[in-house]
Amino acid sequence: MIVLRSLGFTALLATMLVSLGAPAEAKNTGLIFVTNEKSSTLTVLNATNEVVKSVKTCARPRGMRPTADQSGLIIACGDDNTIGIYDIATLKLIKRYRDVADPETFALHPDGKHLYVSNEDDSEATVFDLETGETTAHFPTGAEPEGVAMTRDGKLVFVASEAANLVHVIDVAKGEVVKNLLTDTRPRRFALTPDEKELWVSAEIGGVVDIFDMTTFEQKGRIEFSPPNMRREQVTPVDLVMTRDGKRAYVSLGRANHVAVIDAATRTVVDYILVGQRPWGLQLNHDESRLYVANGLSDDITIIDTAAQKPIVSVPVGEVPYGIYIDDH
Amino acid sequence: MIIRGLIAGLIAMALLPTGPAEAAGPRMVTIAYVDRAGDDAYASSRGYEGVYDATLPSPFPGAALAVSDAKLVGQAIGVAFALEHITLTADADASAAITKLMAEKPVAAVLLDLPLTETAAVATGLSGVTVPLFQARHRDTLLRQAACRSNLFHTLPSWDMLEDALAQGLVVRNWRRVLVLESAEAEDKAVSAAFQRSAAKFGLIVAAVKTFVSGHDPRQRESNNLRLLTGDTDYDAVFVADAARIFARSLPYNTMLPRPVIGAAGLMPVAWHPFWERQGAPQLNRRFAKANRRAMTETDWAAWAAVRAIIESTVRSKDHGATSLLDSLTGAGLTLELYKGNAGSFRPWNRQLRQPILLATESSVVGFAPVEGILHQSNTLDTLGLDEPEFSCP
């Protein structure tokens, strides 16, 4: 719930709520949205890193991204088998699709209509039509599919299967899995380099990031981590993001409580930034001056100044924060 | 010998253009699961008056789950994994049956679900073959020490590992003085001895060791009355060794002093728990429960882990296990996902699966070992159980 710390804050909040009235003004609000999977809430922070709102969502919200027109937030809720769309301005539930089997994460096709969803308990990835609410395709995956990524042209989709140590490559036009890439243990998430020549995959138990060539689909590199004062087995990489110029990548190291900063060209770790406990979800703001880190086991997010490579502040959110979206562009 | 048939792996093989092996069809990798009809360990058993069900289900579904999970990864490397369930009749010779099976077809590995002495005997009988053997049901320390076999892998933690985990849990809570209760049964005395070794290893104080008996005989009240057993000394916790769990069940909330019970009741060290909520465990528990309509037990998990290790070693080795499975199982490169956080691997000295241990009550996992701050020069998982210097295998 909202904590009203002062009259000034109340006034600020009131202004904000009024200004958020019309969906047309919703874009570029500068607000930061965080899904909290255990408290089933969505926490909203303003551009000065204060919590301004917290609302109940569907049960166990995890994956989150904006609709094509950026007026809504698509949220996958695993415990009540729901995909919900929340109005970004009012945070009201405006659409709800039920009976989507345990959705975790998803990618939105450039057509703005088709969601590629990993269904954790059903060992499949499905294509979900946001207009009709129908599931239009099923792709068998290994057990526990997790991360989903897509090329910009929407032609190839990648799904990581955590338990099978595979990345499934789906050819959208053919409608089939055309390749299975063997990864290190427990692949989780992806980053595509901006030129889309490389696919980076985090391997949580393997403790590394695997790099695949997008033409041959052969593994061409591997990044290892050794953050200060942490043991090898604590290094459990999960999320990874890359800057738009493809020069920097950031990897959250899970139980090692650090975010690694990587020089993408040389594939070397240039810094480790201490954050909260068990960081998973990462998000860069639009000008890439700030990196937001969801710390799952300390119930907070850490905000990093990317130029200085230093944390600025950690802000308490809900229980087990998972996904982050920043509405600043 | 009854062969129940091939499970898994065989369907949907022809699909994916993933490698040169595709042209010739997938290579079969057969894992044999050997158990015996009428094994007492899995006999139907009710608690007194049928108050509760004490039956231990066969862990075969754990092994089957690991094979069905591996369908796609098998396709990716051009291998089809299959599980062959061989149930021996009461008088059949296990070693002979396995030798016969190996003569008929290539067998990659064998999972033995047999009584303790027979498990050791089979490992001895098959000591000349390079096929790895696994056992997933015995916690016995001797099987990993004096009675060890170089071809026998263990996926269930030993009593030493479990009691070390419990001792670490006590240290971190600063519950230093422990009253130890054991029955006169050999297994309970062995478990009690393991706990006392762990207590010494981690600096706990054993306040007293007492032998309990079940019953109400007033002439034996010093040994069967819960208050008298727990009344004449002070302690932070009561450890109870009771494989039957009948006495142990009655102990919590019945001690003279208001102290927690640990060991066979109260806070228990376990390999697996249906309520473990972290490190991806709910997904494995749900997948198992959905397929089998019951919760995943510790032995289900250990059988799953054995097959998972065999499959993972096959996938990771250069020739996909065609020649070198035994080497890749004990190789340094193995990082097994056990759904307990730390990557699993096998101790080369006694073929024991390294793994974290959960500290749990019936309804909740309340702790995890190795605990933060207890360190080891190479792998913190080796703070649990027999470390290399303590190992002796004649």
Q: What is the mean pLDDT of residues B326-345?
A: 89
The pLDDT assigned to B320 comes to: 76
Closest alpha carbon within chain B to A236: B341
Q: B288 — phi, psi (to 5°)?
A: -65, -45
Check if the beta carbon of residue B233 is closer than 8 Å to that of residue B260: no
Interatomic CA distance for residues B125 and B112, integer angstroms: 13
Average pLDDT over residues B139-147: 85
User: Closest Cα to residue A53, out of A80, A23, A92?
Assistant: A92
Q: How far is B373 from chain A (nearest CA, A)?
A: 11
User: Hey, are the CB atoms on A186 and B280 less than 8 Å from each other?
Assistant: yes
Residue A128 pairs with which residues in a beta bridge? A115, A135
Confidence at B24, pLDDT banded by 50, 70, 90: low
Interface contacts A/B by beta carbons within 8 Å = 78
Q: What does the domain layout of chain B look like in residue ranges?
A: 26-157+272-355, 160-270
Q: What is the pLDDT of residue A10?
A: 41
Q: Is residue B145 pLDDT above 90, yes or no?
A: no
Percent of chain B with pLDDT over 90: 69
Window 320-359 of B, Cβ < 8 Å to A: 335-337, 341-343
Among A144, A159, A219, A278, most B C-beta atoms within 10 A, so best to mutate, is A144
Residues 6+ positions from B376 with CB-CB distance below 8 Å:
B370, B382, B383, B387
B26-157+272-355 CATH: 3.40.50.2300
**Is A105 at the interface with chain B, CB within 8 A?**
no
- Top pLDDT among B21 and B295 is at B295
Amino acid at B18: T
Q: For an interface test with A, which of B22, B308, B337 has the most A Cβ atoms less than 10 Å from its Cβ?
A: B337
What interface predicted TM-score (ipTM) does this complex get?
Answer: 0.80
pLDDT of residue B347: 93
Distance CA B237, CA B215 (A): 23
Maximum CA extent, chain B? 78
> Does A231 contact chain B (CB < 8 Å)?
yes
CA A195 to chain centre: 21
**Nearest-CA residue of chain A relative to B72?**
A142
Which pLDDT band holds residue A317 (cuts at 50, 70, 90)?
very high
pLDDT-derived band at B6, boundaries 50, 70, 90: very low
A-chain residues near B312 (CB < 8 A): 165, 185
Residue A255, chain B, CB below 8 Å: the answer is yes
A122 pLDDT more than 60: yes
Q: What is the pLDDT of residues A76-118, one digit of tens each?
A: 999 999 999 999 999 999 999 998 888 889 999 999 999 999 9
* Residue B171: pLDDT over 60: yes
Contact A143 B287 (CB under 8 A): yes
Mean pLDDT of chain B: 90
Give A64→chain B minimum CA distance, Å. Answer: 20
Separation of alpha carbons A264 and A193, rounded Å: 9
B4 lies within 8 A of chain A by CB: no
Are the CB atoms for B314 and B320 separated by under 8 Å? Answer: yes
B29-43 pLDDT, tens digit each: 999 999 999 999 999
Contact B335 A165 (CB under 8 A): no
Evaluate if residue B78 carries a pLDDT over 70.
Answer: yes
What pLDDT score was predicted for residue B150?
Answer: 80
Backbone angles phi, psi at A161, to 5 degrees: -105, 110
Mean per-residue pLDDT, B156-181: 97
Q: Report yes or no: B69 at the A interface, CB cutoff 8 Å.
A: yes
User: How far apart are alpha carbons B305 and B300 in whole angstroms?
Assistant: 9
pLDDT score at B42 = 94
* φ/ψ (deg, to 5) at B354: -75, 135
Instruction: Tell whether B279 is within 8 A of chain A (Cβ).
Output: no
**Residue A159: φ, ψ to 5°:** -125, 130
Q: Among all residues of chain B, which has the CA nearest to that of A205?
A: B343
Q: Does A25 have pLDDT greater than 60?
A: no
Mean pLDDT across A42-69: 94
Average pLDDT over chain A reads: 90
pLDDT band at B322 (very low <50, low <70, confident <90, very high): low
- The pLDDT, as a whole number, for residue B393 is 72
Q: In this predicted structure, what is the pLDDT of residue A4?
A: 40
- Report d(CA B97, CA A326) in Å as an integer: 64
Model confidence at A11, pLDDT cuts 50, 70, 90, reads: very low
CA distance A166 to chain B (A): 7
Q: Tell me which chain B residues have a C-beta less than 8 angstroms from the C-beta of A182.
A: 73, 76-77, 315
Q: What is the pLDDT confidence band of residue B11, given thresholds at 50, 70 and 90? A: very low
* B160-270 CATH fold: Rossmann fold (3.40.50)
**Mean per-residue pLDDT, B257-277:** 97
**CB burial readout B87-124, b (16+ within 10 A) else e:** bbeeeeebeebbeebbeeeebbbbbbbbebebbbbbbe
Whether A2 has a pLDDT exceeding 80, the answer reads no
Q: What is the pLDDT of residue B394?
A: 63
Q: Is the model's pLDDT at B17 over the cut of 70?
A: no
Distance from CA of B26 to the nearest CA of A (A): 15
Please give, rounded to a whole number of angstroms, the shortest distance from the CA of B52 to a CA of chain A. Answer: 31
**Tokens matching residue B356:** 């974290």
User: Using a CB-CB distance cutoff of 8 angstroms, which residues of chain A are in contact with residue B374?
Assistant: none
Residue A95's pLDDT is: 93
Taking CA–CA distances from A176, the nearest residue in chain B reads B16
Please, which residues 137-176 of chain A have a Cβ atom closer than 8 Å to chain B?
A: 140-144, 161-166, 168
A162 closest CB neighbour out of B72, B280, B380:
B280
Residues in chain B within 8 Å Cβ distance of A165: 73, 312, 315, 337
The two three-digit tokens of residue A32, written as one number = 């930061």
The answer to whether the Cβ–Cβ distance between A144 and B283 falls below 8 Å is yes
pLDDT at residue A142 greater than cutoff 70: yes
CA distance B311 to chain A (A): 10
pLDDT at A12 over 80: no
Is some CB atom of chain A closer than 8 A to the CB atom of B156?
no
Please tell me the least confidently modeled range out of A284-288, B347-351, B387-391.
Answer: B387-391
Residue A311 predicted with pLDDT over 60: yes
Backbone φ/ψ region at A315: left (φ over 0), alpha (ψ -120 to 50), beta: beta
* Interchain CB distance below 8 Å, B16 and A166: no
**What would the mean pLDDT of B166-181 be, rounded to a whole number?**
97
Judge: B73–A141 Cβ closer than 8 Å, yes or no.
no
Global confidence as pTM: 0.87
| Stretch among B104-108, B143-147, B182-186 having the lowest mean pLDDT | B143-147
Q: Do B283 and A163 touch (CB under 8 A)?
A: yes
Q: Is-same-fold flag (B26-157+272-355; B160-270)?
A: yes
CA distance B91 to A172: 58
Q: Which domains does chain A have, with CATH numbers?
A: 2-234 (2.130.10.10)
- Classify residue B266 by burial, with Cβ atoms within 10 Å: 0-12, 13-18, 19+: buried
